[in-house]
Amino acid sequence: ISGDFDSIDSSTREYYSQTAFIATHDQNATDFTKCVRVMMEKLPQLSNVLVFCSLGGRFDHSVGIIHSLYLLNDRYPHLQIYLLTEHDLAFLLHAQRSTRIHLSSPYQGNVCSLLPFGRTAHVKTNGLKWNLDPTQELSFTKLVSSSNGYESDQTRFVDIFTDEDIIWTMTYRTN
């Protein structure tokens, strides 16, 4: 367990008493960012990280975690971090890379989104209900592709190319 522990209560510390606590005191980074940095120091070959229940609770914490995805991508461009909540999966799509997202899971939901948290992005997609064309600008002041869907129930993958880092989210079923 890593962080600055400025808000940990005694019952939580006691519950995890058999676990190592690694103090990281940088107040300019979130505990999430600091934890990933510690993991990367210990396992530099790590290429995928799955984070459970990462976007629930306070909105500012959720935005902080999304911000961390962008910061960590700059430092560890080979690392893919997946944020898994009780309803969806979110991750950063890297700039200037083609990404194919496979949809063959029996748990696949119906909703997906492309969210440009950083710079204005030009995105080309194939396999979505409302495909994006690179002549369109995705940004928070123009267009976001929220509540999109897949071309059909038979769609097995979505291809995406973006010129800037953006967030992809997709729902899944739990039953």
pLDDT score recorded for residue 49: 96
pLDDT score recorded for residue 54: 66
Displacement of CA 174 from its chain's centroid (Å):
19
pLDDT score recorded for residue 11: 92
> How far apart (Å, rounded) are the C-alpha atoms in residues 1 and 19?
7
> How far apart (Å, rounded) are the C-alpha atoms in residues 175 and 168?
23
- Length of the chain as a residue count: 175
Q: What is the DSSP letter of 100?
A: E
Q: Quick: pLDDT tens for 103-128.
A: 988 888 999 999 999 889 999 999 99
> What spatial distance separates the first Cα and last Cα of the chain, rounded to whole Å?
31
| E strand intervals along the chain | 2-3, 22-23, 48-52, 80-84, 88-93, 97-102, 108-115, 123-126, 145-148, 157-162, 166-172
State the amino acid at position 120 in one-letter form: T
Under-70 pLDDT residues of the chain: 54
Q: Minimal CA–CA distance to 167: which of 80, 66, 71?
A: 66
Displacement of CA 88 from its chain's centroid (Å):
10
